[in-house]
Amino acid sequence: MGEPLRVVLVGWGAIGRTAARLVAESDGAVEIVGVAVRSPDIERNDIPATAVLLFHPGELAALEPDVVAEAASRESVASWGRAALALGADLIVSSVSAFADPGLLTDLRQVASEHGSTIQIQPGALAGVDALAAGRQLGLDAVEHRIVKPPNAWKGTPADLPGVLDALTEPTVLLDATAAETAARFPKNANVAMTTALAGVGPDATRVVLVADPAATSNRHELRASGAFGELDVRIDNAPLPDNPKSSAMAALALARSITNRSAAVAI
């Protein structure tokens, strides 16, 4: 048996905590050696016993991580990502909305190339991303990502106009635009929009449709694509995380899988 995979988690919200628990319960040889958080003023007694708290990317080097897994915010991707990749550690990104700035992805890709590290975009709450990325190799003709949520789930977004959401009686399209425009106008949906875009035909060619449906009881993602490979039509209805109803359970599950696959004898 070799040394366990040394992992630092950036972020200790519901997704990070759930992923850490799932990793600990897995059969993989993974050790959470650090948890990076924003504020030193909040007491955190529930981090893994093997981990130390980090507050600045400069503290990463002392832990010699193999993987840095981000589950914090789009703002954290740049600083923690550069520090991780420069150390030769691989970076797993959950806050894909950070790459709505194409310059950041170019920058991090250059750092990764110089230091022999890898950037992995984990699929989060989506299904079918692996097939979409595989199909891209033969060429894609069209990609559409439809996001369907109950009207209340659109509260606090640009669609939350006085009296509009509460009055809906049938499915209503709130936005039909490119992934790039969606990320700019509806930043709370930017993660999934950018993930689909980067896996497929890019932010300016990916069509995203946002729908408020009074009959919906969960957040639904419908991914459709066509190309030389054939046709893709995938739907996933996401249950929320018990610790945070605003986050999908699948986002934490996908992050845990991305981490454990790094040390698994068989990865799928």
Catalytic residues: 221
SS (HEC) of the chain: CCCCEEEEEECCCHHHHHHHHHHHHCCCCEEEEEEECCCCCCCCCCCCCCCEEECCHHHCHHHCCCEEEECCCHHHHHHHHHHHHHCCCEEEECCHHHHHCHHHHHHHHHHHHHHCCCEEECCCCCCCHHHHHHHHHHCEEEEEEEEEECHHHHCCCCCCCCCCHHHCCCCEEEEEEEHHHHHHHCHHHHHHHHHHHHHCCCCCCCEEEEEECCCCCCEEEEEEEEECCEEEEEEEEECEECCEEEEEHHHHHHHHHHHHCCCCCCCC
Region for 163 from its dihedrals, namely left if φ exceeds 0, alpha if ψ lies in -120 to 50, beta otherwise: left
